[in-house]
């Protein structure tokens, strides 16, 4: 791809007249590259994305898709104005960075520059359209990438392109005028209540995400006023809302209960209390605000969305990554009374002869030998332990009320031979004989609606008790460290990147991994899983020992 683009760039530099075929070659190469970068961005796992996803209680991939889709929608609206005004200067200015990056040295205003700027503007518009389609769940595959056809004869260099000509060159759809406003007297507070009611009725948001939207829209009403009319809200008013959000103290309701936003900001400043961090401001307030106004427009309550241009480029936080366990820590952990014999079911940290064989025993072991996330393990059911092609597997899926982080999280992961030796299938058979569909009958959902929330607290507390809380905090160890440990072990076993992704449910970073072929079968994955061999002794966990 990059080599193809470089060849096209060389042709352009050597031919200032730039025939149509050269421009199409260059621009479509640029478009392919940007579309591939978009896929990579959607599979990234940066700290900033993780923080925002946690605030909204969304899978990271879904949170990234929302952010990319909203930004692309805003950019399309800006580009539509440029097309309507036939603003050739704005086209050149907006594409100047891309043209410079391509190594084209022509000056703005020259025929060469204008041709390339218009063609790149068309490609950029198509890029944004595809980003919106991808964020809405409509996959764009390789056969639909060559979509820009530069129409040289329709460009009037001396006088600028007319709006229809520019639109034709870009393949853009002419936007119809804003629809007639439905109710000019609708109060913001009333519409907000209707929005929340619809989200609840359709169960469009999970419990924690609903709380976040309640908080954000409540503040919106508080800042703009109970009597504010929806139709009267302007971008300037929402800019003020953004400034209020960025000035709020963190944990406002806990630290300054009962205070309105203005009083809370004043008191926090006097006391030197920290403000919301950028990720929380964006994820917990600004994105929910934008989603609310997008809903208003989609519901026909607004002709123009005043929130389209309200963005916040939150700087990425540098957070200490979670560490994998080392061999000594794993040995200490699995030599603990919980695994080797404890006092009783309620006293699992004290040595004794009582054998625990419930979720407390199995979850850390499953995480160690699959790399599965805690949420995926918590929602496993008896029916999710399957045999495919003669290979016992965990069927990690989103059937029923289960949720997965990304589409790539849905997978079959073979059961490691060590789990079989320790007796996991015997435990599954026991659960089947009970007649219950539940694999972990004692695991209950927390207030957030997820089993993983209370289990995460319990398991991290247990790690602190066994390894020492000081060590756990200093090494940033948590249940998620099992996932890091498994991924490192797969690397150490020379398991290829794409197979590692298939085992642990990571999205691939290349188009081929995400869109082509059926992936790897259970036999291939079993070989990869069983290649993992930790330098620890778990024979004491085998039945009868």
Among candidate residues 93, 103, 112, 86, the one with its CA nearest the CA of residue 15: 112
CA distances for 351 relative to 276, 355, 356, 357, 458, angstroms: 45, 10, 12, 15, 19
Among candidate residues 6, 55, 114, 428, the one with its CA nearest the CA of residue 276: 55
Contact 135/65 with Cβ under 8 angstroms? yes
pLDDT reported for residue 374: 94
Among candidate residues 264, 466, 288, 262, the one with its CA nearest the CA of residue 360: 466
* Beta strands in 250-368, from DSSP E residues, in sequence order: 342-344, 347-351
- Say how far apart CA 228 and CA 211 lie, in whole Å: 23
pLDDT reported for residue 42: 75
Contact 275/265 with Cβ under 8 angstroms? no
- Say how far apart CA 231 and CA 416 lie, in whole Å: 60
pLDDT reported for residue 417: 96
Among candidate residues 526, 317, 373, the one with its CA nearest the CA of residue 59: 373
The 10 Å Cβ neighbour count of residue 350 is 13
- Say how far apart CA 217 and CA 211 lie, in whole Å: 10
The 10 Å Cβ neighbour count of residue 538 is 19
Q: How many CA atoms lie within 13 A of 275 on its CB side?
A: 16
Q: Is 417 exposed, middle or buried (0-12, 13-18, 19+ CB in 10 A)?
A: middle
- Say how far apart CA 25 and CA 39 lie, in whole Å: 22
Structure tokens at 164: 């229809």
Structure tokens at 518: 């059926």
pLDDT reported for residue 445: 84
CA distances for 273 relative to 246, 247, 251, 277, 316, angstroms: 13, 11, 10, 12, 22
Q: How many CA atoms lie within 13 A of 498 on its CB side?
A: 13
Q: How many CA atoms lie within 13 A of 8 on its CB side?
A: 21
- Say how far apart CA 56 and CA 33 lie, in whole Å: 31
Q: For residues 30-59, b (16+ Cβ closer than 10 Å) or e, as one string?
A: bbbebbbebbebbbeeeebbbbbbbbbbbb
What string of pLDDT tens digits covers the 545 residues of the chain? Answer: 334 444 444 444 444 455 555 666 677 778 877 887 777 777 665 545 555 555 555 666 666 777 787 778 878 878 887 877 777 788 888 888 887 777 666 677 777 778 788 888 888 888 888 888 787 766 554 334 444 444 433 333 333 333 333 333 333 333 333 333 445 678 899 999 988 888 887 766 666 677 888 889 999 999 999 889 998 999 999 999 999 999 999 888 888 888 888 998 999 899 988 988 887 888 888 888 998 998 898 888 888 889 887 877 655 555 556 789 999 999 999 999 999 999 999 999 999 999 999 999 999 999 999 999 999 999 999 999 999 999 999 999 988 888 887 778 899 999 999 999 999 999 999 999 999 999 999 998 887 678 888 899 999 999 999 999 999 989 989 999 999 999 999 999 999 988 999 999 876 544 334 433 356 889 999 999 999 999 999 999 998 77
DSSP 430-497: HHHHTT-SBSSTT----TTS-SHHHHHHHHHHHHHHHH-HHHHHHTT--TTHHHHHHHHHHHHTT--H
250 three-state secondary structure:
coil
pLDDT reported for residue 8: 43
Cα angle, residue 40 at apex, residues 380 and 125 outer, rounded to 5°: 125
């Amino acid at each position: 791809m990059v080599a193809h683009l470089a060849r096209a760039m060389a042709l352009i530099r050597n031919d200032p007249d730039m025939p149509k075929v050269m421009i199409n070659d260059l621009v479509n190469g640029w478009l392919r590259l940007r579309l591939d970068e978009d896929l990579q961005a959607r599979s990234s796992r940066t700290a900033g994305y993780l923080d925002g996803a946690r605030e909204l209680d969304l899978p990271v991939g879904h949170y990234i898709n929302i952010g990319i889709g909203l930004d692309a929608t805003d950019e399309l609206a800006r580009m539509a104005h440029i097309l309507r005004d036939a603003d050739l200067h704005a086209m050149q200015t907006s594409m100047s960075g891309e043209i410079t990056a391509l190594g084209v040295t022509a000056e703005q205003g020259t025929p060469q520059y204008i041709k390339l700027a218009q063609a790149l503007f068309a490609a950029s518009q198509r890029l944004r359209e595809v980003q919106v389609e991808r964020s809405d769940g409509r996959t764009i595959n390789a056969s639909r990438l060559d979509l820009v056809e530069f129409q040289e004869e329709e460009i009037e260099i001396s006088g600028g392109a007319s709006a229809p000509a520019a639109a034709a060159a870009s393949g853009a759809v002419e936007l119809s005028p804003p629809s007639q406003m439905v109710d000019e007297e609708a109060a913001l507070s009333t519409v907000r209540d209707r929005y929340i009611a619809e989200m609840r009725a359709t169960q469009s948001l999970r419990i924690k995400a609903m709380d976040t939207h309640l908080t954000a829209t409540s503040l919106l009403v508080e800042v703009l006023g109970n009597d504010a009319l929806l139709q009267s809200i302007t971008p300037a008013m929402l800019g003020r809302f953004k400034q209020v959000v960025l000035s709020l103290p963190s944990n406002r309701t806990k630290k300054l209960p009962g205070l309105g936003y203005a009083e809370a900001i004043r008191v926090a400043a006097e006391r030197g209390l920290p403000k919301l961090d950028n990720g929380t401001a964006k994820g917990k307030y600004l994105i929910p605000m934008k989603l609310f106004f997008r809903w208003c427009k989609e519901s026909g309550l607004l002709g123009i969305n005043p929130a389209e241009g309200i963005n916040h480029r939150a700087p990425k936080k540098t957070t200490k990554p979670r560490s994998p366990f080392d061999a000594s820590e794993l040995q200490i952990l699995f030599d603990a009374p919980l695994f080797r014999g404890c006092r009783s079911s309620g006293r699992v940290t004290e040595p004794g002869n009582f054998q625990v064989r419930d979720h407390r025993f199995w979850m850390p072991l499953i995480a160690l030998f699959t790399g599965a996330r805690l949420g995926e393990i918590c929602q496993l059911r008896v029916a999710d332990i399957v045999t495919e092609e003669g290979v016992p597997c965990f069927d990690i899926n989103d059937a029923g009320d289960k949720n997965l982080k990304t589409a790539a999280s849905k997978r079959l992961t073979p059961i490691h031979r060590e789990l079989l030796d320790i007796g996991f299938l015997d435990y599954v058979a026991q659960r089947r004989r009970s007649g219950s569909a539940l694999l972990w009958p004692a695991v209950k959902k927390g207030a957030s609606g997820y089993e993983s929330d209370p289990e995460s607290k319990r398991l991290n507390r247990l790690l602190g008790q066994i390894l020492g809380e000081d060590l756990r905090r200093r090494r940033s160890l948590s249940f998620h460290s099992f996932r890091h440990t498994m991924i490192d072990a797969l690397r150490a076993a020379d398991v290829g990147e794409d197979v590692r992704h298939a085992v642990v449910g990571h999205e691939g970073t290349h188009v081929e991994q995400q869109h082509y072929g059926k992936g790897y079968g259970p036999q291939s994955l079993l070989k990869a899983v069983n290649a993992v061999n930790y330098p620890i002794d778990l024979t004491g966990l085998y039945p009868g020992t």
